[in-house]
Amino acid sequence: MRRLVFVVPLLVLVAMPGLAWADSPFDPAQASDIAQRVLLTPADMPGDGWSSQAMVLDSGTLDGAVPDTDACRNSLGPMLSAASKHPDGTIAGQAAETLSHGGGSLLAIPTEVALEIDVHEDDAYLDGAMDRTRDMLAGPDLWTCLGDLFGKSLGGALRATVQDAEPGAVVPNNGIARAVEITVGGGLVSLSVRMELYVWLYGNVVAQASVTGSSSSVTSDLAGAVINKTQSNLDREASKAP
Segment 52-68, tens digit of pLDDT: 998 876 655 555 667 78
Query: How many domains are there within the chain?
Result: 1
Residue 1 falls inside a structural domain: no
Which is more confident, 188 or 35?
35
Q: Measured between alpha carbons, how far is residue 100 from residues 56, 113, 211 in Å?
A: 16, 6, 10
- For residue 213, the cross-strand partners are 194
What range defines the domain where residue 30 resides? 8-239
Amino acid 9: pLDDT: 43
**CA–CA separation, 178 and 126 (whole Å):** 20
Segment 191-216, tens digit of pLDDT: 788 999 999 999 889 899 999 999 89
Give the domain CATH number at 15: 3.40.1000
**CA–CA separation, 129 and 89 (whole Å):** 12
What is the DSSP-derived secondary structure letter of residue 18?
B
Residue 198 falls inside a structural domain: yes
Highest mean pLDDT among 25-34, 81-90, 119-128, 145-154: 25-34
Kind of pairing, strands 111-120 and 91-101?
A: antiparallel
Residue 229 falls inside a structural domain: yes
Residue in 112, 84, 109 with CA at minimum distance from that of residue 99: 112
**CA–CA separation, 163 and 195 (whole Å):** 10
Residue 3 falls inside a structural domain: no
